[in-house]
Amino acid sequence: MVIICKTAKESKQAFEHLQTDLPVRLITTETYTFEHGILIMPAYLAKGIELDAVIIYNASRSQYFRKLEQKWLYTACRRAMLRFFTIGEKTPFLERVSDSLYNQNG
């Protein structure tokens, strides 16, 4: 499973927050091999990687509002089965998805 964040900075913050409760590994530009387990990485490193399960760390309006940011989100979304978590209002990019295609309450 991979937790995809918007940036390297957010990935590091998520890693620091989650490592006390979960066996997570931080993936950076310096990572050369992928091991099984829960990985955390920025969206730009997910391009071209096939993944079994993906969690979008924070798909909020404040994170993915600009066109380039929406491309990052699109890249992350094409990886596998997805779970989206938002802090606050979800990004407008997700508002185009029919409510019948997902469960808003988890």
From first to last of its 106 residues, the chain has per-residue pLDDT tens of 889 888 899 999 999 999 999 999 999 999 877 778 899 999 888 777 777 778 888 877 777 677 777 777 766 666 556 666 777 777 776 777 666 665 555 5
- How many angstroms separate the CA atoms of 69 and 62, rounded? 10
What pLDDT shows up at residue 22? 94
Burial 85-100 (b: 16+ CB within 10 A, else e): ebeeebbebbeeeeee
43: DSSP letter? G
Looking at this protein, which amino acid is placed at residue 76? Answer: A
What pLDDT shows up at residue 41? 92
Is the pTM above the cut of 0.85?
Answer: no
CATH architecture of 2-30+39-99: 3-Layer(aba) Sandwich (3.40)
Contacts of 49 (CB under 8 A, 6+ apart): 2, 79
- What would the two tokens of residue 5 be? 């964040």
Domain boundaries defined on the chain: 2-30+39-99
